[in-house]
Amino acid sequence: MAAALLYFDDERAAALNLATTCLIPALEVEVHRFPDQEMRLRLPVSRTGTVPHTLVIYRSLDRPNDKLIELLLTIEQARQLGAQRVLLVTPYLAYMRQDMAFHPGEVVSQRIVGPFLARMLDGLITVDPHLHRIKQLTEAVPLDYAISLSGAPALADCIAQHHTHPLLIGPDEESAQWVTTAAKRQGWDHGVCTKTRLGDHTVEITLPALSFQDRAVVLLDDVASSGQTLATATKLLLAAGAASVDVAVTHALFADQAMAVIQASGVRHVWSTDCIAHSSNAIAMAPILAPAVSSWLRQTAPLPRQ
């Protein structure tokens, strides 16, 4: 077996979809958790106790702390068992937001996690990484093959199945790039709110100077975590006369009671990609990820790693 995709059980559906699209076999990494929370992993090996020469590992890094340890153990063991090329497909790439120190001694996690992953890998593919002050993913993950894809076009196509001419709104300034991309794809009106964050669970939102009366509005963003930003924007939009408010996001983090908070604000539908496994998943990213994976698989094997 020349190449295979490794996956973990909690991401089975998306991983198998990607493997099928790429025409490579999918093999599960078995995980056992001891009472003290340490993990025992078992890689799928051949009769001779080896793994394929080329491995694609599918692991989204939402709730990343355990998953980073899983990747460290999996990749190092795979190298020992014969893997010479390893590509990580991580639709959600964690620890990218902390890209500078705001206080003395503060850890800049992007500058640590990015190089940590790069040292283990020969390539990495992700979707809409949350990068603030850098333009290229390779600045955070120093690899020749570090590819950033976008979920915005797929979100636009999903929205188009439900609305003929919605008004797309970004809940904050950082969402502008994804809202603009999605709106241009379908020729829709769009705008972006202004947000002031007062804490982890408190925000102030100012709507753009647009008419919302009787409009079907869709809030579109790359990530939804606490739900407070989307909930606050929804309440303001409905108060401004919007006929309905739906939500479309690439990364459905939805921590704790986030979905309940969003639904209580008046949101009608929530659509997300399967970058993170969640009940709101409405868009499969395999067709978008597969060309980048296949391109990497066709590349000539790199020089031996030092």
Please, which residues have CB within 8 angstroms of residue 138's CB and are 6 or more apart in sequence?
144, 146
Residue carrying the six token digits 């850890």: 107
User: Using CA atoms, how far apart are residues 179 and 213, in angstroms rounded to an integer?
Assistant: 20
In a domain, 303, yes or no: no
> What is the extent of the structural domain holding 91?
3-150+285-298
Q: Are residues 157 and 249 in the same domain?
A: yes
The CATH code of the domain that includes 207 is: 3.40.50.2020
Q: Are residues 93 and 220 in the same domain?
A: no
Q: Are residues 10 and 146 in the same domain?
A: yes
Please, which residues have CB within 8 angstroms of residue 267's CB and are 6 or more apart in sequence?
219, 230, 231, 234, 245, 246, 247
Q: Are residues 66 and 83 in the same domain?
A: yes
Q: Are residues 32 and 20 in the same domain?
A: yes
In a domain, 224, yes or no: yes
pLDDT at 303: 46
Q: Are residues 181 and 259 in the same domain?
A: yes
In a domain, 48, yes or no: yes
Q: Are residues 217 and 263 in the same domain?
A: yes
pTM reported for the whole predicted model: 0.93
In a domain, 250, yes or no: yes
pLDDT at 137: 95
Residues of the chain with pLDDT under 70: 1, 198-201, 300-306
User: Using CA atoms, how far apart are residues 169 and 123, in angstroms rounded to an integer?
Assistant: 34
User: Using CA atoms, how far apart are residues 169 and 153, in angstroms rounded to an integer?
Assistant: 15
Q: Residue 245 belongs to what H/E stretch?
A: strand 244-252
